[in-house]
Amino acid sequence: MDKPIDKIRRIMTIFKASSAEVRPHFIVTGPSGSGKSHTIACLAEELDLNVFDVNAAGLTKEGTSGNSLSKALTPILHSGGQPTVCFVDEFDKLFISGNSNSALAHETTNGVQNEFLKVLEGSASVFGDYGKYITIDTSHVLFVFAGAFNGEEDIDLDRLREFGLKTEFLGRVGLAYGLEKVSLEDMRNILEHSPLLDKYMALVADVERQTVCKEIMKVVKDNYEKNTIGVRLINTLIHQYFIEGGIKAKEAKKVAFQKKLSLTA
């Protein structure tokens, strides 16, 4: 049976091969640390696809202060009409208990979903030069919606509907794939091929790459079970190693752990 990552690769391959004529928008679920954003970024690079990120946690309804969808989608203006992937990260944060228990928050959540529905149809109004709105074509954009959903496993469309996703939305984004936590071996591979590590090694001549990887992997192993930020921990530890001259175990443990958030049932 194909793994979720194989199915995601197939979707993105079809999207590229069809010149965006086939756009199977989909949802990626999985606990923090499962490499959702890393997976999409790597596949986009592998397939030579344009990709940009939108952080759904900070999105606000049009007409209210904050980062509206019309502002978040401005990178499409520079895509040149080429097949492009829009990775909507932290999509589940729109449904977090505490953010959605007020009438205003509920209205905002519904408003953002409704705005995405229009975008998925093939066009969007974005914030252009001089503060003017421009209507653009989005028919060449594949939308990927990602969220941890508090680490729940085997989330299906019915469960997503219970979280608050509209039936109309799921009718347009009807595929969902769950990723598992990134393995230690995958973490090692990501570290050894890290572009950030390459840049530091080019700047610092008196450090051996093997030594750096060995010390960082020791910390990764020690904090693996409680690591909730996944592959992002690698970059944090690389920065810490070169900027602070080593890795402080207490600080590494602190940054590796993030408290899970409560979601609506």
8 A C-beta contact, residue 5 and residue 178: no
The whole-number average pLDDT for the span 210-217 is 93
Q: Rounded to whole angstroms, how far apart are CA atoms 213 and 197?
A: 9
Name the token pair of 138: 């989005």
The whole-number average pLDDT for the span 222-240 is 85
Cα distances (angstroms) measured from residue 259 to each of 225, 229, 232: 14, 10, 16
Over the stretch 182-202, which tens digit does the pLDDT of each residue have?
889 989 999 998 989 999 999
Looking at the chain, which runs of residues are DSSP E strands? Answer: 26-29, 50-55, 59-60, 67-68, 84-89, 123-127, 133-137, 141-147, 175-178
* Domain chopping of the chain, boundaries: 4-178, 184-256
Q: Rounded to whole angstroms, how far apart are CA atoms 181 and 185?
A: 11
pLDDT over 90 (residue 142) = yes
The whole-number average pLDDT for the span 229-241 is 87
Closest Cα to residue 30, out of 153, 143, 145?
Answer: 153
Name the token pair of 236: 């944090």
The predicted structure's pLDDT at residue 199: 94
pLDDT over 50 (residue 120) = yes
The pLDDT confidence band at residue 233, using thresholds 50, 70 and 90, is: confident
Name the token pair of 127: 């914030």
Q: Rounded to whole angstroms, how far apart are CA atoms 27 and 6?
A: 15
4-178: CATH class: alpha beta
Closest Cα to residue 181, out of 28, 27, 31?
Answer: 31
8 A C-beta contact, residue 238 and residue 216: yes
Q: Rounded to whole angstroms, how far apart are CA atoms 83 and 251?
A: 41
Q: Rounded to whole angstroms, how far apart are CA atoms 67 and 89?
A: 14
Name the token pair of 92: 């589940």
Over the stretch 33-70, which tens digit does the pLDDT of each residue have?
788 998 999 999 999 999 999 999 888 777 665 578 88
Rank 11-20, 37-46, 141-150 by mean pLDDT and report only the highest.
11-20
The predicted structure's pLDDT at residue 247: 61
Closest Cα to residue 25, out of 149, 141, 137?
Answer: 141
Tell the burial category of 44 from Cβ atoms under 10 Å away from its Cβ (0-12, 13-18, 19+): buried
Q: Rounded to whole angstroms, how far apart are CA atoms 10 and 25?
A: 12
Instruction: Tell me the pTM.
Output: 0.80
The residue length of the chain stands at 265
